[in-house]
Amino acid sequence: MQKMVAEGGVPVQAGPIAVTRTAFPVILALSFCHMLNDMMQSLISALYPMLKADFHLDFAQIGLLTLSFQLTASLLQPLVGLYTDRKPQPYSLAVGMGSTLVGLVLLAQAHSFGMLVFAASLVGVGSSVFHPESSRVARLASGGRYGLAQSLFQVGGNAGQAVGPLLAALVVLPRGQGAIAWFSFAAMLGMFVRAMVGRWYKPRMTPPRSKKSGGVSATGLTSAQVGFAISVLIALIFSKNVYTASLSSYYTFYLIHRFGLSVSDATVMLFLFMASVAVGTLLGGPLGDRIGRKAVMWVSILGVLPFTMALPYVSLVWTGALTMVIGALMASAFPAILVYAQELLPGRVGMVAGIFFGFAFGLGGLGAAAMGRLADATSIEFVYKVTAFLPLLGLLTALLPDLAKARERAAEAAG
């Protein structure tokens, strides 16, 4: 509860409680919820081989299934973020998990491809509500260590993406589609923890900034420069997430087709890739705080090019090793990109998180759908040969402005 102070004998509500130090319990609670959220999402892609066989799907339908749950999140997240920038919703975190819960129950009972798509879409809606407001709470709880807070928050999601395929191999694949319903208990746990985070957040909510007080002028950049920089960041997200989607959606098929692995062994390999993504995410934010966001973007996107180029031509052992390096390097970019974008648009934390988490889902989904059609027309191996060139877009990092120098120039001009 917010404190009450007396003015002229009349109690009035004080301003929001200030956060002066990093609130690690809150950030770790958000990270835990992120783990549960993305664990349940990753079940969908981990179960693709089973669903493909049970429902007689082709690769194009697999891509559409990915698109359905990623596109709902992509379209809704910026709108949710824009709305909560103006009217913060502390308990929306728990409500969003309810949509994921319903989606999981329907997925366990689905008997047609259309029902699979609808259930997956509900899981996407849950993410669209979760990410913008959670990112805002993580920044509020950071105590100024923005990169660290975003990394800790995001690494929970990456850990969930890594654990999901492993749990799918251990729990769902041996028992069949109906076992997906067991994960509804994780959704209920997530709703409870998110409600507790909402209680902490409510008395600390900052009022929305007026149009005059925050925004673009604080960066020392013009609106056109900010818009161009956001476009560059979106291009970097495109490079990173479309390639990552090629691994998360089709890596198991690639391993089964090229190396003759069983579904369970291929799923374990997918777990190792997802685990490396979690490690990269954990490192990306603190490194950005220490050496700068642009430096992290350079290394994590353009620096991965030699490894993506080599991947289609190496043995099974080297395939596993290279995908782990690729996953760690590419994942380290996202915390740096998100915090950089939030610094470009101060006071618009929810909208920025919605845009970039949304584009992460949407571009990944569109990429997965396009690559599914390409794989049907050619082969999975050819898909990896084509997408290997995507990290070249990392060269666009050179076009991003130095925000520290821009602020210094603005301060000198104002003084």
Residue 59 is part of which domain span? Answer: 21-206+214-406
Question: What interhelical angle do 293-301 and 333-344 show, nearest 10?
Answer: 140
Identify the burial level of 390 via C-beta atoms within 10 angstroms of its C-beta, where 0-12 means exposed, 13-18 middle and 19 or more buried. Answer: buried
Average pLDDT over residues 218-223: 74
Percentage of the chain beyond pLDDT 90 is: 11
Tokens of 196: 């507790």
Query: Would 415 be classed as within a structural domain?
Result: no
- Rounded distance between C-alpha atoms, residue 44 and residue 62, angstroms: 10
Query: Would 356 be classed as within a structural domain?
Result: yes
The predicted pLDDT at position 211 comes to 47
Residue 32 pLDDT more than 80? yes
Query: Would 59 be classed as within a structural domain?
Result: yes
The predicted pLDDT at position 311 comes to 93
- Rounded distance between C-alpha atoms, residue 340 and residue 345, angstroms: 9
Q: Based on the structure, what is the number of domains in the chain? A: 1
Q: Residue 5's beta-bridge partner residues?
A: 12
Query: Would 120 be classed as within a structural domain?
Result: yes
Half-sphere exposure of 60 (CA within 13 A, CB side): 5
- Rounded distance between C-alpha atoms, residue 210 and residue 164, angstroms: 42
| 157-214 per-position pLDDT tens digit | 878 877 887 788 788 878 877 888 888 888 889 888 888 888 888 777 665 554 444 4
Exposure class string for 62-82: b at 16+ Cβ within 10 A, else e: bbbbbbbbbbbbbebbbebbb
Residue 3 pLDDT more than 60? no
The predicted pLDDT at position 12 comes to 40
The predicted pLDDT at position 281 comes to 85
- Rounded distance between C-alpha atoms, residue 105 and residue 333, angstroms: 34
Indicate the DSSP class of residue 205.
P
Give CA torsion, residues 46, 52, 57, 62, to 10 deg. Answer: 10
Mean pLDDT of the chain: 81
CA separation, residue 63 to residues 70, 117, 182, 370 (Å): 11, 11, 25, 7
- Rounded distance between C-alpha atoms, residue 198 and residue 141, angstroms: 12
Answer whether 94's CB lies under 8 Å from 386's CB: no
The predicted pLDDT at position 377 comes to 87
Indicate the DSSP class of residue 7.
E
Query: Would 116 be classed as within a structural domain?
Result: yes
Confidence of residue 1 (pLDDT cuts 50, 70, 90): very low
The predicted pLDDT at position 316 comes to 94
Query: Would 127 be classed as within a structural domain?
Result: yes
Residue 333 pLDDT more than 70? yes
Question: Comparing 339 with 13, which gets the higher pLDDT?
Answer: 339
The contacts of residue 42 (CB under 8 Å, 6+ apart) are 160, 161, 162, 163, 164, 165, 168, 248, 274
Query: Would 119 be classed as within a structural domain?
Result: yes
Average pLDDT over residues 85-97: 76
Residue 318 pLDDT more than 90? yes
Residue 216 pLDDT more than 80? no
The predicted pLDDT at position 411 comes to 65
Query: Would 254 be classed as within a structural domain?
Result: yes
Residue 310 pLDDT more than 90? yes
- Rounded distance between C-alpha atoms, residue 314 and residue 155, angstroms: 29
91 C-beta neighbours (distance < 10 Å), count: 15
Longest alpha-carbon distance in the chain: 79
The predicted pLDDT at position 38 comes to 82
The predicted pLDDT at position 210 comes to 47
| 229-253 per-position pLDDT tens digit | 988 998 888 888 888 878 877 888 8
Nearest to 128 by CA among 74, 87, 84: 74
| 344-402 per-position pLDDT tens digit | 887 777 788 777 777 666 676 677 778 888 888 888 889 889 889 989 988 999 898 88
| 256-303 per-position pLDDT tens digit | 989 999 888 888 898 888 888 888 888 888 888 888 888 889 988 888
Find the CATH number of the domain harbouring 250: 1.20.1250.20
Percentage of the chain beyond pLDDT 70 is: 88
